[in-house]
Structure 1
């Protein structure tokens, strides 16, 4: 059977991809790659091997950038090139690789399934951690013959933390930087996101047979409209309603984000995240049926991800914000408590009082505030 490549479905045929639309116009070399996961998803990866001044990619340490929920790899290039993390990293001597999670615009291929098939969307962030990240790590290591640095934002930190519990990934890891880290979600202060989670909205759509969570689709738009009308939440600025009051983003960057369009996830993933908000736990997906959980996991309740089991010698850089309504300060403190025995010289913690969730990838001053310290951290590892 011919594999369904990312251009087969769900992608605008006139869209040339991230390299041609986001990287090459800034005069950087860019390569498009694909990797197939163990469960058959065909993921796109972009590589920026050298800076504008050229040179060779030999011996440049590779760094993999992983976006968050409803985003794709363009996350790392929304800011002007002199301020965007992807370009700053390559100009500072790194071999930059950009991941795109399954279901997003450039990763909608599968060896046998179409995005029109319900089975294509039968996954949550469990599979992003157990399949997508190992596939990307393995591919980059095979291409570069080096261990990787990793930078994740939002959901990209949750999947990394879960994956770090698997030794196969640790053997390929050099260090990790986690921006707006998410492990626990029980104290999330975003009223809009909490209403989505606690109102069982995601489950309702799932039960109605909607398998793809398309944030720009009619079903999600109607859901948000209903929540805003019933709860009195000010939804005139949806980005702020979800993320918190971002201190340092400007309108042109937000417009670029919206022009690129928010990306799809699976409805099952949204249900999984909702379970975390309601239960305050970090566990695998709960089928909410003992027999089904036993069939999937061999026990009546889903296994927990034990964050205290993350090895103490992984070099970690964590940056979180006081105004973040998704990665709440108290939830981050729970994560930090799990890391309290981490080797002191392997853990850097940065707290930014006025930063909210989107500031970490869209703030005008992110280079000075976050990226310069992050790059200095990576260069020491």
Structure 2
């Protein structure tokens, strides 16, 4: 594992990564079938999970224009085309490692020679630093919505990756709220249209007014801010702080509520799917929530209620301070030129409805794929843990990536130990 802060020349960087990769492969063995138990998973950081199976990892610190320092991770592939993975609401880069390298999408891409990067949003368990604001100053540290995740966190990460790799473009894959990142960035900062060769959206969360659990989420939000003890907090379920610590304790191994917690997580995604398993759901359960801002939730609730995809309306005075106008408009996604591929479940994703996916589809000017998962009970979590992922949608996604990256060199990897 290497940590990088700062810039190297392209040739210096490739040499460093090549030597790191070569050394790593000498001392480690690839073991794709090795099972990572839940109890061990929760003790690992993302880079440690990658190393558990013998793959190379790096830790990268990325500073945003407004001073946040993100801890991002990487599975380096020297010279490989860069792919950026964008996680959803209150989760982290850990969400891409719920099974084994035989199944998880990021390993399939790495084996094809792609260079895989993992983003972590400000405020989650990995990104708690700022150049001026202390994490303990939570009123100011958590003063952001998912608007900032797009215009600052995503753009800074894209620039960092392109600078480090020497590529002029990359491909992004977002799940759930992570699907909003590139749309916010590209529609408000047009220069980023040229930096993303393809934006892949899994279970979009830009339009939310038709989601099946919208009334439940609205009610839970109202309870959280009106009746519990956290009505004035700007933080939202920060990892290892109350109320997240209580929630995690209630769902921990040995707790009589664990089975109920796993069931609720799977059912909230969409009931009766045969694609999940208790181990993947348990791992996700112990890594969600990892922390965000209540303003992110408020922006989502506001968009659920108004049926639009737009920045949060703080009111005229704060809108002027945040956006330079008294009333923000909808994100102008119709101006984007980024090729975009949408993957959605038709009937059983309770957090991303087919109707909302169709609304988004009609607004994307350069839609290159609109793919309905060919399993009627496929749900929101299945995008991360489905047992038949390759046949259901990975094959098509990889085809799109190969096409838009133009990266045709299949690297030879060490034999996988089975």
1:18 counterpart residue number: 46
For residues 291 and 37 of structure 1, what CA distance do their matches in structure 2 show?
A: 25
Residue ranges of structure 1 left out of the alignment (5+ in a row): 6-13, 51-56, 224-233
Question: Are 1:334 and 2:359 matched, yes or no?
Answer: yes
Q: Residues 313-333 of structure 1: CA distance to partner in whole angstroms, max 9, x if unpaired? A: x33221101211111111111
**1:237 partnered with 2:263:** yes
Match of residue 371 from structure 2: 349
Among 316, 335, 340, the residue aligned to 1:309: 335
Partner secondary structure for residue 78 of structure 1: coil
Q: 290, 293, 303: which one pairs with 1:263?
A: 290
Q: Aligned equivalents of 2:352 and 2:94: distance in 1?
A: 21
Equivalent residue number for residue 151 of structure 1: 173
Change (3 A) 1:41 1:48: same
How many residues get paired? 344
Of residues 135-144 and 314-323 in structure 1, the stretch that sits farther from structure 2 once superposed is: 314-323
Report the 3-state secondary structure (helix = DSSP H, G, I; strand = E; otherwise coil) of the residue aligned with 1:299: coil
Match of 2:58 in 1: 31
Q: Which residue of 2 aligns with 1:96?
A: 116
Q: Could you tell me how far apart the structure 2 residues matched to 1:46 and 1:257 are?
A: 18
**Structure 1 CA distance for aligned equivalents of residues 195 and 224 of structure 2:** 39
TM-score, reference length from structure 1: 0.83
* Partner SS for 1:237: helix
- Deviation track 1:66-109 (CA, whole Å, cap 9, x = no partner) reads 10012100111112111111111101110111111111111111
Which of residues 206, 211, 214 is equivalent to 2:237?
214
Q: Does 1:127 align with 2:148?
A: yes
- 1:215 Cα deviation from its structure 2 partner: 6.6
User: Using the alignment, how far apart are the partners of 1:221 and 1:26 within structure 2?
Assistant: 29
SS in 2 for 1:183: coil
Name which of structure 1's ranges 26-35 and 207-216 shifts more when overlaid on structure 2. 207-216
Q: Deviations over 1:354-380 (max 9, x none)?
A: 211111011111122122211111001
Q: Provide the residue aligned with 2:195 in structure 1.
A: 172
Cα shift at 1:205: 6.7
Unaligned runs of 5+ in 2: 6-41, 248-259, 405-418
CA contact (8 A) 1:202 1:270 kept: no
- Checking the alignment, whether the CA contact within 8 Å between 2:106 and 2:116 is kept in structure 1 is yes
RMSD: 2.6
Contact 2:87/2:95 (8 A) holds in 1? yes
Return the offset for 1:236: 8.0
Partner of residue 108, structure 1: 128
CA contact (8 A) 2:144 2:293 kept: yes
Inter-partner Cα distance in structure 2 for 1:67 and 1:90: 18
CA-CA distance at 1:200 after TM superposition = 6.8
CA distance in 2, matches of 1:87, 1:235: 28
CA distance in structure 1 between the aligned counterparts of 2:357 and 2:274, rounded to whole angstroms: 19
Preserved contact between residue 202 and residue 267 of structure 1 (Cα < 8 Å): no
Q: Where does residue 104 of structure 2 map in the other structure?
A: 84
Q: 1:286 aligns with which of 279, 303, 313?
A: 313
Cα deviation, 1:245-280, whole Å, max 9, x if unaligned, reads 244110011112223443111011111111111111
Separation (CA, whole Å) in 2 of partners of 1:297 and 1:70: 24
Shift of 1:40: 0.9
Specify the alignment match of 2:300 in structure 1: 273
Q: What residue is the counterpart of 2:322 in the other structure?
A: 296
Shift of 1:220: 6.8
Equivalent pair of 1:192/1:241 in contact (CA under 8 Å): no
TM-aligned CA deviation for residue 202 of structure 1? 4.1
Residues 262, 282 of structure 2: 8 Å contact kept: no
| Aligned partner of residue 286 in structure 2, secondary structure | helix
Matched, 1:45 2:72: yes
Is 2:204 aligned against 1:184? no
Cα distance, 1:205–1:275 mapped onto 2, change above 3 Å: farther
Distance 1:277 1:205 in 2: 22
